[in-house]
A and B are shown apart, each in its own frame.
Chain A
Amino acid sequence: MAFYVVQFLTGLASAASLFLVASGLSIIFGVTRIVNFAHGAFYMIGAYIAFTLTDRFSGAFGFWGGIVMAALAVALIGLLVEMVLLRRIYHVPELFQLLATFGLTLMVQDLVVLIWGPDDLVGRRAPGFKGAVDFFGQAIPSYDLFLIVLGPVVLGVLWLLFQRTRWGVLVRAATQDRDMVAALGVNQKWLFTSVFAVGVFLAALGGALQIPRDAVHHAMDLRIIVEVFVVVVIGGLGSIVGAFVAAVLVSELNAFGILIFPKISIILVFLVMAVVLIVRPWGLFGKPEAAARRTPGLTVNPWRPLTQNERLAALAGLIVAATLPLFAGNYALTVASEIAIFVIFAVSLHFLMAVGGLASFGHAAYFGLGTYGIAFLAKMAGLPMIVCLLLGPLMGLAGAAVFGFFAVQLSGVYFAMLTLAFAQIVWSIAFQWVSVTGGDNGILGLWPEKWAASPSHFYWLALGVAALVTIALRIAVFSPFGYALRATRDSLLRSEAIGINAKRMQWTAFVIAGTTAGVGGALFAYLKGSVFPDNLGISLSVDALVMVLLGGVETVSGAVIGAIVYKALNIWLVSQTDLSKLVLGGFIVLIVVVFPKGIVGTLEMLLQRKRSVSPPGSTLLAKPIESAE
């Protein structure tokens, strides 16, 4: 019995830090609607700075003072980030802010190594909380007891802050209805900045408090961010109490999960999140998301098919691309094939996002299922390449059909998180079920048959499929289905009122996107000759998002350009420098600020402005906060 009590208490202690970080994320989202991907980065910087301070200043005062100072210092960094970067981009589509914070995360990962060096750092133990307390023969670390008390205390302080101060009332009001707060004449600039700083403070405090238990290293951010997203979503976005309950739930699930299912504890959390979202689409304590209002200045020029001249230009571009093997070497051709494959992957997600308005955070699942489809068909069934290429994507289709059915029941951030959960489940299976998938050692030896083996042949194959897929999806965009799908994105109310079953349209779109991603994955398996769980991983899903946003989510085929630019830059940077993340992150941040509509979107806007005398997009440059609803 004592054992279970102690296990429970251990879970509670883990929950404390998780809660701190999650509550910060939740508050920031509630008020600013920013899905702050950099939250894990702030957590990590908090731990690093706390390590330095507690290392330099001795004694109890040095330790606790160092922890608080670290959190305050990071809050200051957060303040600067908000004022210098985020303030410029409140008016752009929500996902673009995610992209900016993702860029920051990449930069921070390299920066901490530059500043603190590559080694894992082990911080001091907390003065006064070094040992353990005996509980019927079981040892409970006293620092755990401290954390167990700290969690509810922070919850209480936050509660008082929100209930008893004017600032808190404003934050709560803004979480419910931002327009109302704007109407009350509140200085939104100040409110957003302060909320962001408080959220970052909580994240950094959560990180700083880890140093007596954990090692400080440059991958801490990714380790926590996914779990924090899970907590926030289970609890309900914007709900502090929800974050607390969910943090406890997730931590206890981990603590007891390892006793019952030692091998699948990682999947368990995502399974629970998926179930919670399916049963309670807004999390345990969340409220239905207010229908997303269209941001002013966002009126898109209606899409139209290419004109005859533009078609000829596109065809000319394709022909030029097809002549690459005449003058490029094998390496350039292989890189070009990879880019072509990522064009397929990106346009598949673009279709879902741009036309369906559904931002999937787990699109790599279907790409990866396509690669594993090839692996199973070619290695185990021994089918010829052409058959594999045709059948492999069906794995993507099957996955998308099952997961998509549940995912389209939700929308917005919750949709994104459910797709993420599904992708993580698939990834975990591939990573941990070694006997079937080979685990992270993957499945090797999937090289293309002779007819496609030479780099130029494979390049033509990839280019041809990429062109076909892009054209097919463009046709779909302008087909009756495409219009009806776009209708559900523009106005769910209206589309339902004219007989459109939105869920079925979205589900179909999800399956189309998933299958198309599977096509990309199938080619990728042959390009690399091997399949690894990475092909299903979060970083690949994020890559796809970045490519779409970089191209311009309000365009018809911007993802093509986004994929080419991002992938080429990525490959080049990785080849040229160890600091590719720093440069790439900086590039992404720059793009978000300079091209808020993505590369293609911004170009289109400039062209449009040139054509028409009265530009509709001038609000873009107007004071961003005021127009941020």
Chain B
Amino acid sequence: MRSRNTFVGAAFALLVGGMAQSVMAQEIKIGEINSYSLLPAFTEPYRKGWQLAVEEINAAGGINGKKLVVVSKDDSGKPADAQTAANELVSSEGVAMLAGTFLSNIGLAVSDFANQKKVFFLAAEPLTDAITWSKGNKYTFRLRPSNYMQAAMLVEAASKLPAKRWATIAPNYEYGQSAVAVFKKLMSEKRPDIQWVDEQWPPQGKIDAGPVVQAVAAANPEAILNVTFGADLVKLVREGNTRGLFKDRSVVSFLTGEPEYLDPLKEETPEGWIVTGYPWYSIKTPEHDAFLKAYQAKYNDYPRLGSIVGYQTIKSAAAILAKANSTDPEKLIAAAEGLSVPSPLGEITFRKIDHQSTLGAFVGKTALKDGKGVMVDSAYKKGADYLPSDAEVEKMRPKD
């Protein structure tokens, strides 16, 4: 997948790469960027997903007869490196469009690059609302349901809880701060009677879980909103379990139902949390069955949410390229706006108004089954139902 050239050869290529843009007429290239070295736990399943998609597309005759090639680059988790990669893909590899990214800041950096260089960019995983709204631009589309959409899905369930005293725990950076802000806003709209009694802002990746759990417990909330994830979440859950923080309290938690976050918890999985996620084991639709079968056959592993996102990113990109029948970015935008494509989770549409896809997420409750965390009572929430009104979106999004 990656060329293993000699150093000299590659140094030479680096130097003169710009000259020799020999894009073979029978290939269409997509440039793909993600944090493979920084976040392997999330990007490995993602990579498997898009590789499956490439295989399927080419087996079915490619894009209007041309072979689809994905050139993939690591961004080492840094926006600046992501831009270097984007530049290489566009200038040296001559890709038709950019796709990928996981972290919000990297998504934004590439989106800004795409806007500046007039390149089509399909953001795969970044959650920040800014990418389609306050910092949205003409060239950028996003696949995954945003922060706002996830918050809205959770609020729908959370507002039905009797709890009136709420506490929040969120990593202290843009993602955590905006997740809490949106959740609070939507929640307070539906339930003016609730009170916010405590907020904890552990530094991202450096939670000191014991004191945080103690502090939240001391505020004695009836319900807790959690936005932490990854290793922070593990620590929080372990301390919370030991200290009984979650006993007799409702917990609403962003993303925790995704296998990426739920599986490491194993027998520590807290029960009854209301979460967004991806219960691949209990989705019974023909589209998903087909995907699941193909994925398991190819990798002998079960899919994570990243697999879906990777798969659908390339599937969507291919559909856009096929419809546009051109690599001209303006034509790609025209093709993508309002385009509906099938996905393992049902048909999705890339909205014309803000370039957000209507891919949804599952909301359900966590449970412990055979020493593993699972989502139960889950239901798919269509993305289209959890977006603000068009007037509100237009207000937030800068005019092109």
Contacts and interface: CB of A to CB of B under 8 A. Distances in A.
A129 B124 CA distance: 43
Given A332-B14, A334-B91, A574-B74, A528 B3 contact: no
Nearest to B106: A532
A141 B18 contact: no
Interface in B73-94: 73-76, 78-81, 83-85, 87-88, 90-92
A578 B242 contact: no
Interface in A403-433: 428, 431-432
A331 B199 contact: no
Contacts of A577: 2, 74
A223 B206 contact: yes
Contacts of A447: 116
B174 A13 contact: no
Interface in B214-261: 214-215, 217-218, 230-231, 234-235, 238-239, 242-244
A495 B109 CA distance: 49
A215 B37 contact: no
Contacts of B7: 572
A141 B230 CA distance: 22
Given A434-B173, A528-B79, A576-B2, A258 B211 contact: yes
Given A120-B230, A219-B205, A578 B37 contact: yes
Contacts, number: 249
A568 B214 contact: no
Nearest to B245: A139
A262 B231 CA distance: 20
A445 B206 contact: no
Interface of A is mostly: helix
A316 B304 CA distance: 56
B239 A572 contact: no
Interface in A510-536: 524, 528-530, 532, 534-535
B10 A530 contact: no
Contacts of A455: 91
Interface string A434-477: 10001111101101000000010000000000000000000000
A338 interface: yes
Nearest to B268: A122
Interface stretch (A4-12, A156-164, A173-181): A4-12
Contacts of B128: 441
A444 B109 contact: yes
B113 interface: yes
Contacts of B73: 574-575
B104 A119 contact: no
A328 B44 contact: no
Given A266-B206, A434-B177, A120 B234 contact: yes
Contacts of B157: none
Contacts of B329: none
A529 B19 contact: no
Contacts of B210: 10-11, 13-14, 141, 144, 255
Contact of A442 (B105, B205, B231): B105
Contacts of B92: 329, 331-332
Interface string B319-342: 000000000000000000000000
A438 B174 contact: yes
Contacts of A251: 208
A119 B172 CA distance: 23
A372 B322 CA distance: 42
A536 to B, nearest CB: 12
8 contacts: A10-B210, A10-B214, A119-B263, A121-B264, A254-B208, A335-B14, A528-B80, A577-B74
Interface of A: 3, 6-7, 10-11, 13-14, 110, 113, 118-122, 130-132, 138-141, 143-144, 212-215, 217-220, 223, 227, 251, 254-256, 258-259, 262-263, 265-266, 327-335, 338, 428, 431-432, 434, 438-442, 444-445, 447, 455, 524, 528-530, 532, 534-535, 539, 568, 571-572, 574-581
Nearest 4 Cβ contacts at the A-B interface? A329-B18, A118-B40, A439-B174, A331-B91
